Amino acid sequence: MKPIFKKIIIWIITLEARAALARFKPKIVAITGSVGKTSAKDAIAAVLAAKFSVRKSEKSFNSEIGAPLTILGLPNGWSNPFTWLVIIVSGALVPFRKKYPEWLILEIGADRPNDIKNLASWIKPDIVVITRFAKVPVHVEFFASPKQVIEEKMNLARALKEDGVLILNGDDDDILEAKNEIRRPTILYGFGPNTLVRALNEKIIYSRVGESAMPTGMTFKVNMSIYSVQDSEKNSLNVEIKNVLGRQIIYAALAALTVVHSQNIDLTEAVQTLENLTTPPGRMKILKGIKNSLIIDDTYNSSPIALEEALLTLKNLTCSGRRLVVLGDMLELGKYSADEHKKAGALAGSFVDLLVTVGIRARGFAEGALKTGLAPEKIVQFENSREAGKYLDPIIAPHDTILIKGSQGMRMERTVEEIMAEPENKEKLLVRQEKEWQKR
């Protein structure tokens, strides 16, 4: 899309979105952070939808185009001028509708400076959720420093309504430091003792498949720290989330339960909703692989903090077979890129049985792994994600566990497609299966 065309579209749909907000006055939950936004958004939307009519950002509709389109309930026109004309006409009619959602759940991202500042100038949330900041966040190459990224994201908290609630990951020191300037009621969630909505006893769930134990999801207890130590156990609720691994889904569930708590809704029903939650593709999803193998599909995107979490999850997993890792480039890290690839490679090299890299920057993974002591014959490098999948096809053995991750532009879902047990269901199971993505 040409820049001038894009600016005109943004201006028009923003006016239409503002008109819709003025007309219907929905409650707004706005979510930002460096990682975990989409999972938190989906969890929050699910628990609120049990009580209210809800609309959420579709997929990762989190930009200056995505947010207005979510408010209007309209799709992305991509690069099709005719589709955009239809969208603009439809958007102008939205304020005249009789029905509109009671709650909007908006995912708000920052690819460039002022992205959130511009949105926050007219979106005034009732609740702001900040998931987690990163020492080296994705898109940092477009900012002066990681601190500037945090400043940009905190613009959303500054936009809170006077009676709004700020919901924060209490395990993140950068978030706790940044919140001091925001004079709003604040609720913390996390694993630490300073949090109100706290996770305890996190465990990976396994099920027996023949001779092997295969992971099927995560379980934990959620405790409200308003209770005394003596009462905490009986006031804890058990939460089980299926088909996904990693702490990020626990944080998403905690964020959702904190939103529910802030609205004085009973947590028991919300916990039941979370147990039926369908998490989005490409975010630590458990998929069946060929030859009775298991795939951990984390292909939506990649950043240093998210990759570290994914690798630690694999490291701590009980595996009957080998641990294989396929890692694509982490993009948009600027001057931090080389060091961050080496660091992640060193972590992977400390425990994996095979490291497959995809992309030029990903050679840093190999370099880091070699320094950790991973044998050269256990490292294979490719420039193309589909080639990596074709290489894996004949060498995968029963009970192998394969973690696959990379930045959006690396299209690592193509690696998954080559080795998944149900490629006929790829449109449902994998990220970026829309026609617009398939053309790229």
Q: What is the pLDDT along the chain (440 residues), one digit of tens a residue?
A: 678 888 999 999 999 999 999 999 999 999 999 999 999 999 999 999 999 999 999 865 668 999 999 999 999 988 889 999 999 999 999 999 999 999 999 999 998 999 999 999 999 999 999 999 999 998 899 999 999 999 999 999 999 999 999 999 999 999 999 998 888 999 999 999 999 999 999 999 999 877 778 999 999 999 986 544 445 555 789 999 999 999 999 999 999 999 999 999 989 999 999 999 999 999 999 999 999 999 999 999 999 999 999 999 999 999 999 999 999 999 999 999 999 999 999 999 999 999 999 999 999 999 999 999 999 999 999 999 999 999 999 999 999 999 999 999 999 999 999 999 999 999 999 999 988 888 88
Query: For the structural domain made of 1-280, what CATH number should be given?
Result: 3.40.1190.10
Residues 131/37, Cβ–Cβ less than 8 Å:
yes
Architecture of the domain spanning 285-438: Alpha-Beta Complex (3.90)
Cα distances (angstroms) measured from residue 301 to each of 43, 152, 416: 19, 20, 14
Give the span between the Cα atoms of 169 and 192, in whole angstroms: 10
Using a 10 angstrom Cβ sphere, with 0-12 exposed, 13-18 middle and 19 or more buried, the burial of residue 243 is middle
Residues of the chain with CATH 3.90.190.20: 285-438
Question: Which ranges in the chain are annotated with CATH 3.40.1190.10?
Answer: 1-280
**Going edge to edge, which strands form the sheet with 103-107?**
54-56, 103-107, 27-32, 127-130, 165-169, 186-190, 197-209, 212-224, 237-242
Q: Which residues pair with 74 in a beta bridge?
A: none
pLDDT of residue 41: 96
- Smallest CA-to-CA distance from 222 within 245, 246, 255, 248 is with 255
CA distances from 141 to 55, 138, 149, 333 (A): 32, 8, 10, 5
Per-residue model confidence (pLDDT) at position 3: 82
- Give the per-residue pLDDT at 308: 98
